[in-house]
Amino acid sequence: MGEVSQGEVWTSAQCAEAWGVKPTTWLGYVSRGQAPKPLPDVDAQRRRLWDADEVRAFPRPGAGRSRAGSTPEAEALLGEMTDVATRIDELRARQRALLTAGREQGLEIRAMARALGISPQTAYGWLGER
């Protein structure tokens, strides 16, 4: 059993806390090479240890990853993506309203689906029919 020297070291629980994930998630990242490798030394309880600075600097994988280091261009791109998603939601709501109006006018499902660019199954689902 080696002794730890140089710098701050963390257990897997501390690494997980620093990344804002559960310890099992942290260990999953480690096993897939998505986190730093543990140091060769262990602590008195024989727990694996990591260099705290290396953990802090390592780019965290996953959807929850911080955007703190993003460039202004990347932030602008994310903003544009959000705008597109909002517009898509608005257009989808408009498609549903048009479908309902078409149904009230007696239009056929297939014709409306084709005009709206959706499948007939989607049209039936939106109308609550099967």
d(CA 116, CA 61) in angstroms, rounded, equals 38
pLDDT value of position 60 = 81
Q: Which two tokens stand for residue 127?
A: 């109308």
Helices (H), 8-108: 12-19, 23-31, 52-57, 72-104
Do the beta carbons of residue 30 and residue 39 sit within 8 Å? no
CA-closest candidate to residue 57, choices 33, 79, 35: 35
Which residues, 6 or more positions from 40, have their beta carbon under 8 angstroms from its beta carbon? Answer: 2
For residue 50, the SS3 value is: strand
Phi, psi of 10 (to 5 degrees): -125, 150
Full set of structural domains in the chain with CATH: 9-57 (1.10.1660.10), 72-127 (no CATH)
pLDDT in tens, the chain (130 residues): 444 446 899 999 999 999 888 999 899 899 988 999 999 988 888 999 999 999 999 988 765 555 555 677 877 888 888 888 889 989 999 999 999 999 999 999 999 999 999 999 999 999 997 5
